[in-house]
């Protein structure tokens, strides 16, 4: 499949609200938003509207990025290496996801799989020796890795169903299901593995995300109220690291 690209109106600077839902609600939620939204081009290619996402998170040995999220620091970031397929020719996306007060800002650049593996292999041994192509996003990512002393920590995989506005408004709704985690200390990006992964969320639960860049549309208010959805923080990295025993024992994230 074609990899979801960086061309997305809601990708670089946005607000995002997350809701933990029972996966059985998705058909009803989908039917409700259908008048306002349509599957994005990547979901539309899938018979069940869901495409695979796998993200490798980096952190330093002290898990500073983990702790910053758990403690709710207003200005924090995550270092992510994201893939959408295991094929050798598909690109890998290097991302810095920053939270500045309530806004989310994402820096993202595509890198060849070969360059990504070379970087991650070096990073796992000595982050200061790692290199990346000299594109703006990669330069910023590499500097953050070196400043932090970050190394690969964990992969999170899930299946995403993504919807975009029919009217062209910068609004995006996604349903993430089958959220799983696997501790990863080396240059590994694959998500189709026979080895067992841990369930970062119970299999009957899903994450609903609402992302927008401008005024919150009135119909979204009705959508949230109709289904009595409760806004909460649901960071997949934290849940996966917690389940995998990677997070400091004193910093368990209370997400429920």
pLDDT class of 136 with cuts at 50, 70, 90: very high
Domain ranges of the chain: 13-247
Q: Among all chains, which residue has been given the structure tokens 């990025």?
A: 65
Q: What spatial distance separates the first Cα and last Cα of the chain, rounded to whole Å?
A: 35
Average pLDDT over every residue of 213-228: 90
pLDDT class of 142 with cuts at 50, 70, 90: very high
CA atoms within 13 A on the CB side of 224: 17
Average pLDDT over every residue of 81-90: 90
**pLDDT of 94 above 90:** yes
The predicted structure's pLDDT at residue 13 = 76
pLDDT class of 129 with cuts at 50, 70, 90: confident
What's the topology of domain 13-247?
mRNA Triphosphatase Cet1; Chain A (3.20.100)
pLDDT, tens digit, 9 for 90 and up, residues 143-195: 999 999 999 999 999 999 999 999 888 899 999 999 999 999 999 999 988 78
pLDDT class of 32 with cuts at 50, 70, 90: very high
The predicted structure's pLDDT at residue 124 = 87
The predicted structure's pLDDT at residue 6 = 40
Average model confidence (pLDDT) across the chain = 89
pLDDT, tens digit, 9 for 90 and up, residues 231-253: 998 999 999 999 998 977 545 54
Average pLDDT over every residue of 59-70: 93
CA dihedral 240, 244, 248, 249 (to 10 degrees): 110
Phi, psi dihedral angles at 89 (to 5 degrees) = -90, -10
Residues 6+ apart with CB under 8 A from 138: 94, 109, 111, 132
The predicted structure's pLDDT at residue 8 = 47
pLDDT-above-70 percentage for the chain: 92
The predicted structure's pLDDT at residue 87 = 84
The predicted structure's pLDDT at residue 3 = 54
**pLDDT of 141 above 90:** yes
Q: Among all chains, which residue has been given the structure tokens 């998500």?
A: 191
pLDDT class of 116 with cuts at 50, 70, 90: very high
pLDDT-above-90 percentage for the chain: 72
**pLDDT of 7 above 50:** no
The predicted structure's pLDDT at residue 100 = 86
- pTM comes to 0.91
């Amino acid at each position: 499949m074609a990899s979801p690209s960086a061309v997305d109106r809601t990708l670089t600077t946005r607000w995002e609200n997350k809701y933990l839902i029972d996966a059985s609600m998705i058909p009803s939620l989908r039917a409700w938003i259908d008048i306002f939204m349509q599957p994005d081009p990547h979901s539309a290619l899938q018979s069940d509207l869901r495409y695979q996402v796998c993200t490798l998170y980096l952190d330093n040995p002290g898990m500073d990025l983990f702790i910053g999220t758990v403690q709710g620091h207003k200005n924090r970031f995550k270092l992510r290496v994201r893939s959408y397929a295991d094929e050798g020719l598909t690109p890998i996306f290097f991302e810095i996801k920053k939270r500045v007060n309530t806004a989310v800002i994402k820096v993202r650049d595509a890198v060849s799989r070969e360059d990504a593996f070379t970087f991650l292999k070096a990073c796992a041994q000595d982050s200061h020796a790692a290199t990346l192509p000299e594109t703006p996003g990669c330069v910023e990512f590499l500097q953050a890795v070196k400043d932090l002393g970050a190394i690969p920590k964990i992969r999170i995989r899930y299946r995403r169903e993504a919807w975009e506005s029919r009217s062209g408004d910068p609004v995006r709704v996604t349903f993430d299901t089958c959220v799983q985690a696997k501790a990863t200390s080396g240059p590994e990006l694959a998500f189709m593995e026979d080895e067992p992964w841990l369930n970062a969320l119970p299999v009957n639960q899903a994450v609903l995300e609402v992302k927008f860049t401008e005024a919150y549309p009135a119909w979204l208010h009705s959508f949230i109220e109709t289904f009595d959805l409760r806004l909460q923080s649901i960071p997949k990295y934290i849940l996966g690291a917690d389940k995998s025993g990677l997070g400091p024992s004193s910093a368990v994230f209370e997400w429920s």
